[in-house]
Chains A and B, each alone.
Chain A
């Protein structure tokens, strides 16, 4: 964020958030808190009808779209961002942790009558544990090997659940209780703490709370020793190892933390839907969340939120296009990557990393400075290829 080394090479071209960032960095603390407060107020007012009439398309309910898809994607995007954006580990099976969360509440709430908040804590622990269990044997793998292993893990979780009678196999678990209503108080026609079926707004507020907690948590991490260790791993793992960073430990931590956030998303999803089945947790969800992270600007929290919003909202908004909406969505993903390969709203540090080399995202091979290739973008590939 406050990196002094701004790269003119990439930062200078086209639309950029840099002027905004400079002012932000120079703004006094009170002004920043003012903006935070405004953002939160905006988020609270977001599900109102006035916004919804434009945002929801094709007869869907805006508040439900917000709570069931957009905020869930944002929360999952923030979780995956820790793994992909911060530690630079490519995870294609993130949906597995989302599933672990969902099934934890499914089992403990419907079979043992546990309380929502109890299962939430348990689910966070279980998902983190699943992250460690997957990470411990596989985090020695680099790059794309890790990607396929995580993809495989996602499929293993889904298929195992599908074949297990205890969780009703393909039928899944029904009758998952809503979170208990905390209070009936009403404000502006909303009962924000009453969790029923008809009004989705309370779930939206619950998820909003989760998102705020996740953001604060991630920000604190990013600025701590852990965040710096992740940055060093993502930029050059070998160098980090040589400098004495216990890379394995920090990679495992990234996996566990990302998984925990994914698991908490699964809990709310299950409690909102009241039923889950293995089909909720397909590979496409992993792919879309990864797309959200990269599209928004891997490693940058506002970017990830924007990316998740776009990925969850676009196909729903344009329901009227029915069959063609996924066609256009695919095309939009391609186009956006071509015109903003660093993401819609990348962090300045990542841009600088990208300008210097791989930016932790790995560079393509066969990418040699040609007449129209950006000079600095090519320096980092030899190490990759030579492996």
Chain B
């Protein structure tokens, strides 16, 4: 018996070794074809970094596609310097982002970067780019503190959370004229910061404010719902991403809350309607520094962009796609002007000024976007059309 057992174990060990080496071989085989579109010649490489496959990739793929469109259109004009866009999938995690950033600088010798998409990874990556003197333009990192570090090579093509807080808070206080506001958030950096900046705007305007945070990984938000029902506000503003906003809004409506619900750019995605449920989501408001304008309300340029985007990717423009396009355009303008080194491009960005497909693109000395416009959107059926600028928009319901 004992002997038989030993034999059998040895057999198992052999099969195990085979299984393990199969796993390793699989990996080694896959790495051959892993590289992205790399083109030789004297072109330059621009990196795009963000969460391209992770949980919040829904917020990052549209700006990536926007940037891709801009680069393709530029290369199609047959310019002197061809541009390659190389993607770095950080999955939104700072520790992965730093490894990738250093690889991008050392191995791929990127000249400039679009991104990182989120604020957390930007905190870790921007200092590295700063030291390597590589300019970056992020399409979507909106945290206030990013502009306060004195980085010279960092820019963003989107308004920050304070500007959004101002716009959305002003909308709540002046357009909706709410006297009781509940700010909820997901206890994350972005969401909590946004919710707090809303509170800071509406409080001086005479509104009564209460706040609570939910756990993004949990499903049951009844304790927050109970708080909201007891406070009975005219509007609930949620700072955070759409999957959490959806769960909260759904449970609020089901618990019989009838006031308004509003959230920020992180929730501005079709997934919000899906997770809230179409019936419950009707009339939900969203604020964003971004322009998502499939109908071409804002400008002829945005209309043209929306059409080209749809033709190329088969889907409507989505969150930050125009910002991705504009961020790429800012860098491409520099290259068009004959600036091909990182330092020259960065100097050029200081003075760049053009009408983007979303907004006027012009950076101040901190790298912030000069434009301060915030736009408000409203859920209608299963779409989220633009309502207008935050200081003019009127909710339809």
Residues of B within 8 A of A196 (CB): 131
B394 within 8 A of A: no
CA distance A323 to B91 in the complex (A): 10
A235 within 8 A of B: no
Q: Are A280 and B95 CB-contacts (below 8 A) given A13-B9, A332-B20?
A: yes
Chain B 1-39 interface mask (CB, 8 Å, partner A; 1/0): 110111011101100110110010011001101110000
B393 within 8 A of A: no
Chain A 153-167 interface mask (CB, 8 Å, partner B; 1/0): 000000000110000
Q: Contact between A273 and B124 (Cβ–Cβ < 8 Å)?
A: yes
Q: Contact between B128 and A339 (Cβ–Cβ < 8 Å)?
A: no
The residue of chain B having its C-beta at the shortest distance from the C-beta of A320 within the complex is B34
Q: Are A197 and B131 CB-contacts (below 8 A) given A69-B99, A277-B120, A339-B13?
A: yes
A/B pair count, beta carbons within 8 Å: 136
Q: How far is the CB of A284 from chain B (nearest CB, A)?
A: 11
Q: How far is the CB of A76 from chain B (nearest CB, A)?
A: 14
A169 within 8 A of B: yes
Partner of A375, one of B2, B94, B124, B128: B2
The residue of chain B having its C-beta at the shortest distance from the C-beta of A269 within the complex is B95
Which residues, 49 to 78 on B, are CB-close (under 8 Å) to A?
Answer: 53
CA distance A14 to B20 in the complex (A): 15
CA distance A369 to B130 in the complex (A): 64
A174 within 8 A of B: yes
Q: Are A332 and B23 CB-contacts (below 8 A) given A15-B13, A322-B89, A372-B4?
A: yes
The residue of chain A having its C-beta at the shortest distance from the C-beta of B91 within the complex is A322
CA distance A235 to B95 in the complex (A): 39
Among A63, A319, A375, which residue has the most Cβ atoms of chain B within 10 A?
Answer: A319
Q: Contact between B128 and A198 (Cβ–Cβ < 8 Å)?
A: yes
Q: How far is the CB of B54 from chain A (nearest CB, A)?
A: 10
Among A57, A60, A371, A374, which residue has the most Cβ atoms of chain B within 10 A?
Answer: A60
Q: How far is the CB of B9 from chain A (nearest CB, A)?
A: 6
Residues of A within 8 A of B88 (CB): 59
Q: Contact between B6 and A200 (Cβ–Cβ < 8 Å)?
A: no
Which residues, 37 to 96 on A, are CB-close (under 8 Å) to B?
Answer: 56-61, 63-65, 68-69
Size class of A's contact patch? 35 or more
Q: Are A372 and B30 CB-contacts (below 8 A) given A14-B10, A198-B132?
A: no
Chain A 164-184 interface mask (CB, 8 Å, partner B; 1/0): 000001111011000000000
Q: How far is the CB of B27 from chain A (nearest CB, A)?
A: 4
Partner of A13, one of B10, B34, B107: B10
Residues of B within 8 A of A336 (CB): 16, 20
Q: How far is the CB of A118 from chain B (nearest CB, A)?
A: 23
CA distance A275 to B97 in the complex (A): 13
B356 within 8 A of A: no
Q: How far is the CB of B118 from chain A (nearest CB, A)?
A: 11
Partner of B99, one of A60, A277, A321: A60
Chain A 2-15 interface mask (CB, 8 Å, partner B; 1/0): 00000000001111
A248 within 8 A of B: no
Flag the segment in B184-192, B198-206, B244-252 that touches A: B184-192
CA distance A318 to B24 in the complex (A): 9
Residues of B within 8 A of A280 (CB): 94-95
Residues of B within 8 A of A56 (CB): 103
Residues of A within 8 A of B53 (CB): 322-323
Q: Contact between A372 and B131 (Cβ–Cβ < 8 Å)?
A: no
Residues of B within 8 A of A335 (CB): 16, 19-20, 23
Partner of A61, one of B26, B106, B131: B106
CA distance A276 to B128 in the complex (A): 15
Partner of A320, one of B23, B30, B95: B30
Residues of A within 8 A of B98 (CB): 64, 68, 273
A383 within 8 A of B: no
Q: How far is the CB of B231 from chain A (nearest CB, A)?
A: 20
B336 within 8 A of A: no
Residues of B within 8 A of A373 (CB): 5
Q: Contact between B189 and A277 (Cβ–Cβ < 8 Å)?
A: yes
Residues of B within 8 A of A64 (CB): 98-99, 102-103
A317 within 8 A of B: yes
Q: Contact between B16 and A200 (Cβ–Cβ < 8 Å)?
A: no
A212 within 8 A of B: no
B274 within 8 A of A: no
A110 within 8 A of B: no
Chain A 235-266 interface mask (CB, 8 Å, partner B; 1/0): 00000000000000000000000000000000
CA distance A162 to B214 in the complex (A): 12
B127 within 8 A of A: yes
Residues of A within 8 A of B370 (CB): none
Which residues, 85 to 127 on B, are CB-close (under 8 Å) to A?
Answer: 86, 88-89, 94-95, 98-100, 102-108, 120, 123-124, 127
Partner of A65, one of B99, B108, B192: B99
Residues of A within 8 A of B124 (CB): 273-275
B149 within 8 A of A: yes
The residue of chain B having its C-beta at the shortest distance from the C-beta of A318 within the complex is B27
The residue of chain B having its C-beta at the shortest distance from the C-beta of A199 within the complex is B102
Q: Contact between B30 and A321 (Cβ–Cβ < 8 Å)?
A: yes
Q: Are A198 and B16 CB-contacts (below 8 A) given A57-B31, A170-B188?
A: no
Residues of A within 8 A of B4 (CB): 372
Q: How far is the CB of B301 from chain A (nearest CB, A)?
A: 34
Sample 21 A-B pairs with CB under 8 A, ordered by A number: A13-B13, A57-B31, A57-B34, A59-B103, A61-B100, A64-B102, A169-B189, A171-B189, A171-B192, A197-B130, A198-B128, A198-B132, A273-B94, A273-B124, A274-B124, A275-B124, A321-B27, A328-B23, A371-B1, A372-B5, A374-B9
Known: A14-B10, A197-B131. 8 other contacts (CB 8 A): A14-B9, A56-B103, A61-B99, A64-B98, A68-B98, A273-B98, A320-B30, A340-B16
- On A, residues with C-beta under 8 Å from B are 12-15, 56-61, 63-65, 68-69, 162-163, 169-172, 174-175, 196-198, 200, 273-275, 277, 279-280, 316-323, 328, 331-332, 335-336, 338-340, 371-375
